[in-house]
Amino acid sequence: MSTTTGATRVSSVDVACAQAHETAPWFAATDLSTRAGLLEAIADAVDSHIDELVPIAMAESRLGEERLRGEVGRTTGQLRLMANVVRDGVFLGVVIDHADPSLTPPRPDLRRMNIPLGPVAVFAASNFPFAFSTLGGDTASALASGCPVVVKSNPGHPQLSDAIMAVAQDALVAAGAPDGVLGLVDESLQAGIDLVNDDRIEAVAFTGSQRGGLALAKIAADRPRPIPFFGELGSINPMFVTADYLAGRETELAAGFVGSFTLGAGQFCTKPGLLIAPRDETLRAALIEAVGGAPGQRMLTDGIRDMFLAGVDARVSIGDVEVLHAGGLDDANDEVRPTLMAVSANAILAHPELLEECFGPMSLLVEYDDAEQMLRIADALPGLLAAGVHAVGDESVLAELLPRLSAHAGRVLWGGWPTGVAVTWSMQHGGPFPATTRPESTSVGAAAVQRFIRPVTYQSVPEEWLSPALHDANPWAIPQRVDGVLD
């Protein structure tokens, strides 16, 4: 019988948290090779079940087969990247200072390393049913840190969550892991609240709406013993265009921008929500033509669709907003057509609500008259996941614009478009509030593991009671800084 069929893998919050708490010491003590092997075992199992998992995802998410197969590859790639992060050992941050009685005051033997926080609650996201969901980046990075994970299923794809959890849990058992390394609770609102409130949970990772994220963050902060909450809450991801760059590139720029903000029905957290460009009729015409040729698409759920349409209506009702291309819902096939609006630089500064994310295929052209207006918009931006510049390279305004974007965004692009986030060692997918609740962290890339660890210094503890990572012989062959020298 297929691994993805049969009894549900959903547990009660109490059972899932109890199992995670019980297995946490075992998991934290695993050697790096064992832990990396568990991540790779999950990845291999998911790849081998792709033909069973993708049809379930298609039925629940309204996404196409090609997109979902690609997403499975991203998911297993994330797991394998985290296995490499584990084997590398740098994330442990090992520092050894041997005792030195000649110093004033004398220095005892001090050994410092990062240890796992403990069980982590992960809230599965809706827009990437594989890559940001049950076995997404949050789960992969928490497991890499040595933390058991309890996943809260997403209401948009509960059957897929159950099926892929079965694959992962069976792979862990086959690899020798005990119960509790990875668990699943149901998609209900109450299950999420109970999970964050459970004292056995040591941290929470969330990708979703600002409203939902802040409600959960408050619960995490108001617990008798508060815990870290790592929330990705959305972003408008503005793209700035200089006058020197625009001249002669209007059609190319319009095609790239429209293709990016309509990709996946605009349901990417990195969708460019603003195009800030000089007032230019040729660009306007090119944008209208490009968005008019973009097809309608079905959105992930009826609820997401309805929230999107309400967000479009709210923006249209603002008197300073001009509709360049009206989209809307095609009732016959339940497809949403993209909407493009325009607003002046002064008007968007007067309406800060236009700087909030609208999740779906809608974007704003913000037209400025001079470089000073462009810089004023940059100053007014909220926290962002990404911001970008299309420029020739010798414009004097760049010396002021780029530092402003760095102050507001976790990722700054030169050319190109923000949709598409590479899963690699150097990626930063985070940013100041409201993009995320923890701007010092990332939810994509190798550094994501840093969210779920904390440093501990061991003073004069005999070596036999310490992790092998702290031994002088360095049996794990990982980087160590010894007496100030990095080995």
Residues classed as catalytic: 232, 269
Give the Cβ contact number of residue 430 at 10 Å.
28
At which residue do the structure tokens 């090119």 appear? 286
Q: Indicate the SS3 state at residue 426.
A: coil
CB-count exposure of residue 6 (10 Å: 0-12, 13-18, 19+):
exposed
Phi, psi of 80, rounded to the nearest 5 degrees: -75, -35
CA 339 to chain centre: 26
The DSSP result for 40-109, as a single string, is HHHHHHHHHTHHHHHHHHHHHH---HHHHHHHHHHHHHHHHHHHHHHHH-GGG--EEE--BTTSSSPBPP
In angstroms, the first-to-last Cα distance of the chain is 51
Give, to the nearest 10 degrees, the angle between helix 137-145 and helix 65-88. Answer: 20
Nearest to 469 by CA among 94, 83, 99: 94
Q: Is the dihedral of CA 14, 15, 17, 18 positive or negative?
A: positive
Q: Indicate the SS3 state at residue 28.
A: helix
Report how far residue 132's alpha carbon sits from residue 128's, in angstroms, rounded to the nearest whole number.
Answer: 5
Name residue 328's amino acid.
Answer: G
At which residue do the structure tokens 């493009």 appear? 340
Q: Is the dihedral of CA 76, 81, 86, 92 positive or negative?
A: negative
Q: Indicate the SS3 state at residue 475.
A: coil
- The CA distances from residue 92 to 36, 112, 241, 292, 383, in Å, are 14, 9, 42, 52, 30
Nearest to 230 by CA among 385, 453, 436: 436
Give the Cβ contact number of residue 362 at 10 Å.
24
Report how far residue 181's alpha carbon sits from residue 170's, in angstroms, rounded to the nearest whole number.
Answer: 11
**Longest CA pairwise span in the chain (Å):** 83
Report how far residue 274's alpha carbon sits from residue 260's, in angstroms, rounded to the nearest whole number.
Answer: 11
Report how far residue 428's alpha carbon sits from residue 446's, in angstroms, rounded to the nearest whole number.
Answer: 9
Report how far residue 34's alpha carbon sits from residue 175's, in angstroms, rounded to the nearest whole number.
Answer: 9
